[in-house]
Structure formats: structure tokens, C-alpha cells
Amino acid sequence: MKFYSTRNAENKAGFKKAVLDCMPSDGGLYVPYDMADLRRWILYADENTSFSSLAGSLTSAMVNDEFSPIICETIATRAFKKDPVFKQLDENLFMLELYNGDTGTFKDYGVSYLTAALETILQLDGEKAILLDATTGELGACMAKAMRDKKLLKSVLVSPKGSLRGIVESDFVWNGGNIYPIEVDGTIEDCRNLVRKIFSNRELVEKFHLTVANTANIGRLLPQAFFYTYAFSRLKKKVNGDIYYAFSAGNYGNLISGLYGWRFALPVNGFIVPSTPMLTQDASGNCMVTDSIVPLKERIAADPASPSNIERLEQVFNANSLMIRSFVFPATVSEQNMDEACKELFIKYKVYADGETSAAYAAAKKRADVIEDGDGAVVLVARQDPSIDEKFIMHNLGECPNKNVLVAQAFNPVNVGKSCLVPGDVESLVSILDSLNLTKK
């Protein structure tokens, strides 16, 4: 599989380059150029197929022009120790839980896959690399777990003072680990600006072999397409009609990865999401991407520090509004709708639903008009452990499940023990990158 930039179709890359040099110099984002037909792998999988086995087979099918099946299986086996949880709530409603990883969030899967893929690539090439990201805590907790067995990767996390969590002292670079935490005496936007300034300098990116662990990196985004194939493998013997997935839009990573799954030949009839300012309904109730109003040439470069996948969404449909109306179904969801959905999920199914999952369920109920087939099914995708959204659930139910041990550990505060950077101090950040001795050969 090849990839190309959303800003220039002639700017092409293989999988290795796309994950190692994840921000194209033209300011775009990498997207698949030649979608493989994975039908036979998708239809072969069943309820006995593990997530790691499925991911290994799909990875091999996608990048077999660069890596052998053994290498692809190795990446998946290293990355995925646990399967998502698939449940049937009633005859036509199912739930895919993506939060049984180490930190209670769907990001565990994408981060684990990306770091496993990078480590494998670097071993083959005899190289080293640095992941540079801004975070308020969640990504840092995921990175700490994913990086503990890596030899050729380092992660530099830039965060507001006091916000890092889920990292233990043995994870720090100066204690022999792979994480270099940097606290900034400012806001998350100050942290993002530091990362943006580094990535705007191509010499620095190449010198330190820099990449990111967020969904600007196609290697973090692609494995999310495996979620839908995994759900289908559990669903296909239970449903004869149409299949829809409902989830929070987030930064559109789950949506675009679902659409990639569809382009890989995954049987799916549509995706239901709560409306956002950029992905909403027009006067007729059809899907509208508001960023499409602004031509690509007039936009600023894609953001390596706080990515949005709306540009990738536009690319999938080639700004074809008819195609968007056929596959993406936004619904306006109010706070009251979310509260009612949370209560209904608990009363009917004994499901503790966080705010995002409640919003997705409310959206699915509002878009019942698109599910015309009585045999159709909705898969509700839950992205994070409900205990993380304790305030919302307590407000609606008066009780909340306790955090399990791993999720609780992911919220343990971190004492970095080093002085903070001031906002805009790029020179000090460069000095830290230089101290890691990973200068590209």
C-alpha cells in the first residue's frame, strides 16, 4: 500500500516513510493511495479470530509490498495483548468496548500498534527515532505503557506543569527508560506551539528523526480500522440486514478509520455521529463538512500537535457531498439528550455510559430514519472506560463503577523533578532533543 499527501497527490510514500516522516513537507496529511481489497481476510475472520491475529493478517495484506507476513504478524503480536469486548445488548443493538487496554482508552490500541511498527522498522533499518508530542496526560499514560520494551524509540512529552500522569520513575530517560517528560509553565496551547515550531523546521525533523504518536501519524490511525472488522467478525452470524456504527466524532480519527475499513471492502452501511462545528447537518438534514468551504491551498499546514482528520475525511469523498450523505449521518445532540441516553442505557441494559458513548447512543436514536431495514443493527462504540467520566455518570445515575487497578494507575500524578520550560523556549527543547543522542546518521 502506498500513501500520498492530501495537499499533493504526487507526494507519495510507502508505509515506512509515512510513519517515520509522518508530516509531509507540503503541509498535508498522508492518506492511502491504493486501497487494497481485503474482502477475503475480512470474510474469513469469525468469532474465534483474535484481534492480534486479525490485525496481523490485515497488516500483511496492506503492506505486503514492504514487509513479509512474519514481520506483520510480529508487529500485531507485540502490539495487541487484549481483544476489544463485543456485547449484544438486544436484537439490533450491539456494543464494542475499546477500553480494556492498559489505561482505559481506545488510544491504547493505536499507540501500541504504532510503537510496535516503528520499533520493528527501526530494527530492520538500524535507525533510531523520537516521538515528540504535546499532551495533558492521557497520551502520556498510553505512551508510558507502550514504550517500556522499546530499544530504538524515545518519547518526548511536552505538557503543562502538573498535568502528566500514569508514568513511573523507571520510565524516565535519566533512569534508563524511554520517556523524557517536559513540563511547561503555561497552557496546553503553549506546549502545542513548541511542538509546532519544531516540526515547522524540516532540518530539525530530519536531524532528530522526529515523528508523532497522535493521529496525524497514519500509523496510529490505520489500526483503528481494525476495530470495525473485529466487530463484523462477531456480528456477521447474528445480523442479516444493514450495519451502522455509532460513536463520538472526536478528532474524526474513528470516523476516517471506519471509512478506510469500508474502502477495504468491509460490509458497512454507514456511520452515525453527534454533530460538531465542522461535521454537521445542512438545512435538509444531510451531512456537511464546513471546512470544505476553504480551499486546501488557502489553509495553514496540518497540525502535528493537535491534529484534526477532517482533511482526510474530505479526501475520502473527494468533496463529493452525495457520497457523504450516503455514509455519514450526523445528529444534533443536546446535553439533555445525552443525560436521557445515559439513563436509558443503564435502565435497559445495565450499561454505564460515559458522555461520549451516551451522545453516540442519542445520535443513533435520532437517526433511526436511516436504518430502514428491520433486520439492521447498530454497533455502539465505547472509546473510554466509563469510570473516567465519573462526574457525568454520577450526575445521571447517582453511582459510578470504580476504576480498575490499571486505569487508576494511569491517573497517578507524576513528579518530574526537573525545572519547567517557559512558553516559547524552543532552544531548550532542541537542547533536550540533542541530549538524547538520537541524531540521524
pLDDT digits (tens, 9 = 90+) for 244-260: 999 998 889 999 999 88
Contacting residues for 219 by C-beta, under 8 A, at least 6 apart: 15, 18, 19, 22, 113, 114, 117, 118
**In this structure, are strands 270-274 and 377-382 parallel, antiparallel, or unpaired?**
unpaired
pLDDT, residue 372, reads: 67
CA dihedral over 227, 231, 236, 240, signed as positive or negative: negative
Q: Which amino acid is at 21?
A: D
CA 102/CA 116 separation, integer angstroms: 15
Is the Cβ–Cβ distance between 34 and 64 less than 8 Å? Answer: no
pLDDT of residue 404 exceeding 90: yes
pLDDT, residue 251, reads: 81
Cell 475480512 belongs to residue = 42
pLDDT above 90 covers a percentage of the chain that reads: 73
- CA count, 13 A, side-chain hemisphere, 186: 16
Which 3 state secondary structure label does DSSP give 320?
A: coil
Residue 405 or residue 313, greater confidence: 405
* DSSP codes of every residue in 232-284: HHHHTTT--S-EEEE---TTSHHHHHHHHHHHTT----EEEEE--SSEEE-TT
The whole-chain average pLDDT of the chain stands at 91
pLDDT of residue 296 exceeding 80: no
Tallying the residues shown for the chain, one arrives at 441
pLDDT, residue 316, reads: 81
CA 328/CA 271 separation, integer angstroms: 5
pLDDT, residue 288, reads: 80
pLDDT of residue 373 exceeding 80: no
Most confident segment among 35-39, 65-69, 104-108, 260-264: 104-108
Model confidence at 284, pLDDT cuts 50, 70, 90, reads confident
Tens digit of pLDDT for each residue in 22-64?
999 999 999 998 777 788 888 888 999 999 999 999 999 888 8
pLDDT, residue 110, reads: 95
Q: What is the CA radius of gyration of the chain?
A: 21
CA 170/CA 177 separation, integer angstroms: 6
Nearest to residue 103, comparing CAs of 413, 411, 407? 407
Tens digit of pLDDT for each residue in 301-343?
899 999 989 889 888 877 566 767 788 999 999 999 999 999 9
pLDDT of residue 439 exceeding 60: no
pTM more than 0.85: yes
CA 245/CA 230 separation, integer angstroms: 13
Q: Which amino acid is at 190?
A: D
CA 29/CA 307 separation, integer angstroms: 10
Least confident of 76-90, 256-270, 342-356: 256-270
**269-289 mean pLDDT:** 86
pLDDT, residue 441, reads: 41
Model confidence at 86, pLDDT cuts 50, 70, 90, reads very high
pLDDT, residue 106, reads: 95
pLDDT, residue 440, reads: 45
pLDDT of residue 297 exceeding 80: no
pLDDT, residue 194, reads: 97
- Domains parsed from the chain with CATH numbers: 84-105+222-397 (3.40.50.1100), 128-208+414-435 (3.40.50.1100)
**127-147 mean pLDDT:** 94
CA 331/CA 367 separation, integer angstroms: 7
Cell 505503557 belongs to residue = 145
pLDDT, residue 374, reads: 65
Cell 535519566 belongs to residue = 174
pLDDT of residue 160 exceeding 90: yes
